[in-house]
Structure formats: C-alpha cells, structure tokens
Amino acid sequence: MPSIFGTDGVRGVANKELTPELALQLGLAGGRFLLDKKKGSQVGRVLIGRDTRLSGDMLESALIAGFTAAGLDVFLGGIIPTPGVAYLTRTEDFCGGVMISASHNPIADNGIKFFNHDGNKLTDEEEEKIEEIMGNRDSCSRPEGKEVGHKFEAPHLKEKYLKFLCEKAKGDFSGFKVVLDTAFGAAWEIAPRTWESLGAEVICLNDSPVGEKINLECGSTNPREIKKVICETGADFGFAFDGDADRVIAIDEKGNELDGDFIMAICGCHLLKTGELASKTVVATRYSNQGLQEALGKQGGKLLFTQNGDRYVLEALRGNKLTLGGEKSGHIIFLENNTTGDGILTSIMLGNVISQEKRTLSNLAGIMKPWPQLLRNVKVKNKDWEGNTSIQEVIKKAEEKFGDRGRLLVRASGTEPVIRVMAEGKEERLIEEILNEVSGVIKKEMN
C-alpha cells in the first residue's frame, strides 16, 4: 500500500484525502500498535486532543471507534495544544497520544499525529509498522464484551498542562502588558489563562474556538494585527501562535517580528551567560539564519545544524545531550521541559529572560544581526525535483556564484504542493538574482 504518513503525521484535506474511514483504520491499527508497545504497569489508555477545525469532530469520532475496537480506553482532552498532548501522554501514564490538527495550514486541511508513551512523535519505522498493520487487517485482534474500550471525557487534563506551564515562570510577570494572538486555534483558552495566572495584563486577539477562522489572516503566519495592537496599546511585547500552538513568533514593543532564530538567539545567549546551556550548543535546522550562528559564537556558543523538521531537531538534542533547539518558523524545543515544540512554554521562557535581564525585548533582540535571506514557495504539480538535470545545473551555477558569500537550500514541502527555495547571503542583490533564476527553472520544469 502507498505510504500514508508524511513528514509530520497523516495530512490532507479533511473528508477528501483524510477521510473518516481512513481515521477509523488508523485508530484500529494504531491502537493495536500502541497496545503491543505498552510497558510494565501501563494500562491500555490513549489520549486524543484536537484543535478547533470543524472537521475535528468527524475525525475524532472515527479515531475513537478505531481505538475502542482495538481494546483501548480513550480519554478526550478536548481543544488543547499539540505540546499539551505530548506532555500529558508522557506524564499521565498513557500508552500513546494523538493530536488532530493541521497546524498552520488552511482550514480545510487536517491531520492525525501520533505520540508514543514518552510523548515523542513516532519514528519512521514505527509509522511503517502501523501501515503494515493497516495492510493486513486480519492481524488486528478484535476484543469482545468487557474487553472493548471505553470513551471518557477528560477536561481536567488541560488544568494539569496549564499548571505545568505556570510552574516554568521564574518570578512574577505582573509588570508585563502582553498581547496574545491565538489564531482561533488550540491556544485560545490556555495561553491567556497562563499569562493571566502569572500576573500579566493580557490583551487577547482571535481568542475564541471558531474553527472556520483558524489561521485565517492571523496568528504566527500573519502577525499584521498583533503588531498594530502592540504599538497602539503600548504593550511590552506579544506572541502569535499557530493553529495547534506548537510554534510561536514574538513581537517586540516596537512592532518588530522576531522569528524562531531570534528567540533561540535571545534564550541561548542568556543561558550561555548563566551557564545553563548544555555543551554551550543550540540545535537548528539548515533554514536558520547564519546570524544566529554569529550571535552564539560571539558569546562563546555553538550552533549544530540538522535537516529540516522538528523531529530531527529532537533527535540531535537527544543524541548530543543538548537542551535547546528549534526552527526558524518558531518551533522551539526546551528539552528539559517538553518533547516537542511548545509555543506557550516558549513564550514563558522568553518572558523569563526579559524579566531577569530587565531589558526590553527589542534591546535583547539586538544580539542577532540576521543575514539577508529570501524564501520562495514555488507551486508545482510534481515535487520530485532532485532527478531533474536542468534544476541541478541551475543550483550548481548558483552555488558557484555564491562561493563563501551565501548559500542556497532547495527542498520539497512535506505537506503542501510547493518546492521551497531559500537563498541567504551578505548581498541582497545577489541573493535576489539567484532566487529568481532557481525558482524560474523549478517552475518551468515541475509544472
């Protein structure tokens, strides 16, 4: 059977590619897999969380049917951030967890993401095992009578996640005025409650569970409104989340946007100063700006690059016993606290730095001077670009033009019909010229 899992779970247009029938099969096969992996005293329980998308009800119902048919008890966390599911799966003795969300993607899309009992996303091999079970339905045992699973509403779990977040604040945040844009998504309730519990004055934007508006001209992918509100209200800073709140971008008091690279630079350099950054190293993907490496280097730190994707950041953190890493997009992992990018946790960690340093966010951000960088998403019909001779030739010529003055990265998106082309260098004219040349050839060859 063709591969169902992509780079971040199972994704697609809900009720088209991602159907309730497919969700039912994933629940049954995934349930069988989780039961087989169950350890020691663990009982057969799985946690399901979701964002606000209208299709979430449909997919949740199908997953419940699949999991209970496999013999698992299902606990419903309701509308909760993805990192909340990861944290609760790990700490509340679940043998697995599932998040129903398409993150920052458009409203019609949705996704199903599995976590193991440690709160980690499944490996490629584990996802392949679930697909193997799906391809051999006779291998799925069907319990009967008392052995069939049950469904339980579990709103109390959100309170445990909120308590965990509040415990990560160092000191009182009562002097802060903060603006939060929750993108009509999974953070709509927990993010404001967290910051209010810490004493901050909170101004909320797009903070209702209106699924048909999720990510629509708001949140981390469109921070225009939050920038305006911060400047109008004299707020100290703000945070814009995506639909499932595993990513965040910060906005300083002047309305300047600070992406994940700035956040890692500020937090990383602060931890270097306090002696708390493991091996004096931060992990980032190849798409992070060279300015991040320069900023850390000036403070005696290092940057370890990995391939694109937060799962690879996590692998590098674990493999090298490091504690801080992330992506330019705002997926930041503080590994001592959670196993995945956590937007609300990241906002608190940045709040801690601002509080302890007693400096404005714009002043802290001055530690990093980003290299000029342009990213273009080229819409294509065919994403299999690597074997195309014309594309390889134009990339080779571009790299020769750059020399040591810049770099070029090309990759196909795992969730959208686009090929991403990123050019970065010291000279804006040169990077724009190269970006246009490479993007033009890709568009011609792949459509």
**Domains of the chain, residue spans:** 10-157, 168-365, 373-445
Average pLDDT along the chain: 94
Place of tokens 């996303």: 121
> Domain 168-365 - what CATH class?
alpha beta
Q: Is 103 a catalytic residue?
A: yes
Residue type, 403: G
Is residue 2 predicted with pLDDT exceeding 90? no
- Helix (H) or strand (E) run with residue 194 in it: helix 190-197
What's the rounded Cα separation, in Å, for the pair 51 and 306?
29
Same fold, 10-157 and 168-365: yes
Give per-residue pLDDT as tens, 16-29. Answer: 999 999 999 999 99
pLDDT tens profile 123-138: 889 999 999 999 887 6
Burial of 404 (0-12, 13-18, 19+ CB in 10 A): exposed
Q: Reduced to 3 states, what is the DSSP secondary structure of residue 270?
A: helix
Contact 186, 243 (CB under 8 A): yes
291-348 pLDDT, tens digit each:
999 999 999 999 999 988 888 999 999 999 999 999 999 999 999 999 999 999 999 9
- Over residues 40-62, the pLDDT tens digits come to 555 699 999 999 999 999 999 99
Per-residue pLDDT of 84-94, as tens digits, reads: 999 999 999 89
Placement of tokens 């020399």 in the chain: 403
Q: What is the mean pLDDT of residues 197-202?
A: 97
Torsion, Cα of 352, 80, 9, 120 (10° steps): 50
Residue 145 carries which DSSP code? G
* Interatomic CA distance for residues 441 and 428, integer angstroms: 20
Q: How confident is the model at residue 142 (pLDDT cuts 50, 70, 90)?
A: confident
- With respect to CATH, is domain 10-157 assigned 3.90.870.10? no
> Distances in Å between the alpha carbon of 165 and those of 80, 154, 241, 379, 384?
13, 18, 15, 39, 42
Name 258's bridge partners. 250
Bridge partners for 179 per DSSP: 203, 238
Q: Model confidence over 96-112: pLDDT tens digits? A: 999 999 999 999 999 99
Q: Spelled out in words, what is the top-level CATH class assigned to the domain 373-445?
A: alpha beta
The answer on pLDDT for 77 being more than 90 is yes
Could you write out the three-class secondary structure of 216-253? CCCHHHCCHHHHHHHHHHCCCEEEEECCCCCCEEEEEC
Round to whole Å and give the CA distance between 150 and 23.
Answer: 18
Tokens of 198: 């810490």
Active-site residue identified among 55, 101, 103, 288: 103
Exposure on the CB side of residue 101, measured as CA atoms within 13 A: 31
What is the reported pLDDT for 403? 87
Q: How far apart are CA 8 and CA 29, in angstroms?
A: 18
